[in-house]
Chains A and B, each alone.
Chain A
Amino acid sequence: MSRGYYDYPVVRRPVWTWEVPAYFWLGGMAAGAYVTASLAQTFGSPDDRRAAAGGYYVAAAALVPCAPLLIADLGRPDRFHHMLRIFKPLSPMNLGAWTLTGFTPIAFARAASHAAGTGLLRGPLGALSRLVPTRLAELAGCVLGLTLAGYSGVLLAATNIPLWAKSKLLGGLFMASALASGSAAVTLQAARRGAPDTTLHRLAMLESAASAGEIAVLAGYLVQSGRTARPLTRGRFAAPFWLGAVGAGAVVPFVLHRLAARRRGRALQSLSTVAGLCTIAGSLALRWSIFEAGKISSEDQGASFELSSD
């Protein structure tokens, strides 16, 4: 039943390509790893601190491709710096550009300071890195990191694309997914380097909390979206969404972490590793499927009318 002008779309199809979900995924993971590592530094035991500090390497590494991805997606990459010619937090895109600009050097500095502390980074660079005020870097990095993890969903939602804008929870969903994948990345490196069981148990607990949170927010998102969510829950993106984002990204790791809670040693390490890999892959599937399904949603005249008549 067409109530509009033929079956023509009301809004325009987003012009963004794969670089955007890839950036959201990596930036979110970097932020999640940084926050997890910092929580361990602040509240954890010496074992926790040692094992989780590798999260700073993860954060720094995941941030490396972020700016290039963001720039590659622009229509005029040579003008990327125009993002920073004004400060306009009203625009999530502007806020995100500034946040990335602020978070990247802090994450690198904190990683360098850890490397200097463990003797990995020597010489003048090591001496310089020792000067980094770690507490301050952790606090500022957490604030900027949480902003980076939290703005991406709000950016997509601050449009008129029904699938992105209908529910109020997309920002929270991407935040949960970022924190889940970031803490998973911290666990991965901790398990590989043979961290003590207590630390792995604690990380598993944190991760399963993140997965549980993600499932809850996701359920809310789907309920609020209602019929508008169809391009995501049916058709081409149903498999990556249900199997990838929901199954591999949240349900499987949640179950594995429950199992891991009673295991020790090698079994614990393997379970944590598999769960972590699943979470990280699912996090990418979540961003990608919601991003791509949004393009289909943009062509849905009925969904646009529904969105703009509430």
Chain B
Amino acid sequence: MIDTYKRLMNVEPPPPAKKPRGFFTDTSLCIGCKACEVACKQWNRLPADGFAMTGNSYDNTGSLGATTWRHVQFIEQAKANSSRQDQRWLMMSDVCKHCANAACLEACPTGALIRTEYDTVYVQQDICNGCGFCVPACPFGVIDRAPKHGQFEPGTAHKCTLCYDRLKDDMTPACAKSCPTASIQFGDVEELQQRARRRLAELKARGETKAELYGMPEGKEAAEVGPLHAFFLLLDRPQTYNLPELPRLPRKTMAQRYGWSAAVGVGFALVGALVFGRRR
């Protein structure tokens, strides 16, 4: 019966699993050129978002969103009367983390959000019905629904695909390809993690005491959402980059929430039985 169903519904077997692919974004190398933002927009044919000025350093992008899948942050750390070493201008190219336990994917009621053979998280545009549940589910504020009456793919959810189409052809994602300083590195996740550990040790040895990795399997931020397949080397605490210290996976507390809900329902039914059952 299942076979008949599969034939009728055109269910294809999933492609064979490949090695997990991801990004290692080393913010110590970022020069804030935004080549990644532009390359991403071009390759993925994402429309421009207008020319608003935020007044916050060189960041006029603001946030990730339906049509912005790379976002370069500019953090000015300049204290008055401090030595030159204390003046820092941190830059960081933010992106979808392709979480090992992805909140967006777990929330999705249609199965539009899937895990690909490269262990990345991908929205199937022909399946998404724009229910919008993935949007507030993501702990990093990444995925968004395109406006219902807009020009670009109206009403469905969008985010970084890790250039799924390019991966299929053994090509490097557009952002990593265009990054002139190798701040964005693409490759096999395990190998990138090794590289990141070495790089961190190197930076620490050079006196970058505040440097840390974010999204590694051993990090406490991986407790709920798992290792991030797009992870980062940061030069300050995660919150400085608007990254949560302990990103939450909604599933973890769901049983408890249903439990309270059920308790109220059962309590009402018991009271009802007592009230109506009373004989005089």
Contacts and interface: CB of A to CB of B under 8 A. Distances in A.
Interface of A: 3-6, 8-16, 35-36, 39-40, 42-45, 48, 73-77, 79-80, 82-83, 85-86, 88, 90-94, 97, 142, 146, 149-151, 153-155, 157-161, 164-165, 168-172, 174-176, 179, 198, 202, 205-206, 209-210, 213, 217, 294, 298, 301, 304-305, 307-310
A93 B109 contact: yes
A210 B267 CA distance: 9
A27 to B, nearest CB: 14
B217 interface: no
Interface in B228-275: 239-242, 244-248, 250-251, 253-254, 256-258, 260-265, 267-269, 271-273, 275
A4 B144 contact: no
19 contacts: A6-B56, A10-B242, A12-B135, A12-B142, A13-B135, A14-B136, A39-B276, A43-B277, A44-B277, A75-B146, A82-B111, A94-B109, A146-B269, A150-B264, A151-B261, A157-B253, A158-B251, A172-B264, A202-B276
B130 interface: yes
Among B65, B73, B131, chain A packs the most CB atoms within 10 A around the CB of: B131
A304 B17 CA distance: 36
Interface of B: 56, 62-63, 65, 73, 75, 103, 106-112, 127-133, 135-146, 148, 154-157, 239-242, 244-248, 250-251, 253-254, 256-258, 260-265, 267-269, 271-273, 275-278, 280
B155 A308 contact: no
A70 to B, nearest CB: 9
B258 A154 contact: yes
Interface centre among B73, B111, B246 (most CB of A within 10 A): B111
A308 B261 contact: no
A48 B272 CA distance: 12
A202 B277 CA distance: 10
Contacts of B273: 39, 42-43
Given A35-B269, A75-B155, A48 B276 contact: yes
B179 to A, nearest CB: 21
Given A154-B261, A308-B246, A43 B132 contact: no
Contacts of B112: 82
